[in-house]
């Protein structure tokens, strides 16, 4: 097991010979590179982030982005309300299954993906940390 991990880390180093650890900005200050890059220096899978961040917690933390819309039928006067599921961690398209790194970057500014197609300003959605 140990040997296997070392081999993987060494292979990753060989694949990216030009960068220097000291030149990489970290938002998770003081973390070891291998914490997120046990499988090499590529964008980590969401399962890596979820070893520390609990899905329930992040969903709850951003639940306030969901908002209620209501529409009153001008003919019948009937009002229908519904929730717009724009929570970045549990939303209309991806539920809870989106890849964290689509929005959260570690070594450069983060982003969101929704603005490609939606006007997200009324949603109050901004790029996270």
Instruction: State the residues that interact with ligand HEC by CB under 6 A.
Output: 16, 19, 21, 24, 26, 28-29, 31, 33, 35-37, 41, 43-44, 46, 48-53, 58, 61-62, 84-86, 88-89, 91-93, 98, 100-108, 112-114, 116-118, 125-126, 128-129
- DSSP lists the bridge partners of residue 82 as 69
Rounded Cα–Cα distance for residues 121 and 129 (Å): 17
CB of 48 to ligand HEC, least distance (A): 5
Which stretch of DSSP H or E encloses residue 10? helix 2-15
CB of 25 to ligand HEC, least distance (A): 9
Task: Identify the DSSP state of 91.
Answer: B
């Amino acid at each position: 097991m140990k040997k296997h991990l070392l081999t993987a880390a060494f292979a990753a180093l060989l694949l990216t010979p030009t960068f220097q650890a000291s030149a990489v900005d970290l938002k998770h200050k003081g973390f070891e590179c291998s914490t997120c890059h046990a499988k090499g220096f590529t964008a980590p899978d969401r399962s890596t982030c979820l070893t520390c961040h609990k899905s329930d917690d992040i969903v709850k933390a951003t639940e306030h982005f969901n908002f209620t819309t209501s529409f009153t039928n001008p003919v019948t006067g009937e009002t229908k309300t519904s929730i717009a599921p724009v929570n970045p961690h549990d939303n209309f398209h991806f539920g809870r299954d989106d890849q964290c790194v689509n929005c959260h970057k570690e070594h450069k500014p983060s982003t969101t993906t929704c603005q490609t197609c939606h006007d997200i300003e009324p949603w109050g959605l901004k790029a996270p940390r």
